[in-house]
Amino acid sequence: MTNNNKFNRFTHWGIEKVEMEFLPMAVGHNFRKLVSNRAKTAQTKTKSTENIAKK
């Protein structure tokens, strides 16, 4: 991940425990990306609709 979101290190040892700790971070990261992309898409659609209405 390019941004650590205040994450310094894993607190558990072992692959299974680290995966369990990493999973919520990955879900949160992807959710933020989804929300950001949807907001950008909504702005683009609004601008496109305004341009069509002006013509």
pLDDT of residue 10: 73
**Residue 22 · residue 1 · CB < 8 Å:** no
pTM above 0.75, yes or no: no
Residue 41 covered by a domain = yes
Q: Walk along the chain (55 residues) and give the pLDDT tens digit of each residue.
A: 456 666 666 777 888 878 878 888 888 889 989 999 998 888 776 666 666 666 6
Residue 39 covered by a domain = yes
Residue 10 covered by a domain = no
Residues 18-31 have pLDDT tens digits of: 887 888 888 888 99
pLDDT of residue 41: 85
Residue 12 covered by a domain = no
**Residue 10 · residue 18 · CB < 8 Å:** yes
Rg, Å, the chain Cα set: 19
Residue 31 covered by a domain = yes
Total length of the chain? 55
Q: Which domain holds residue 53?
A: 22-55
Residue 48 covered by a domain = yes
pLDDT of residue 49: 63
Q: How many domains does the chain have?
A: 1
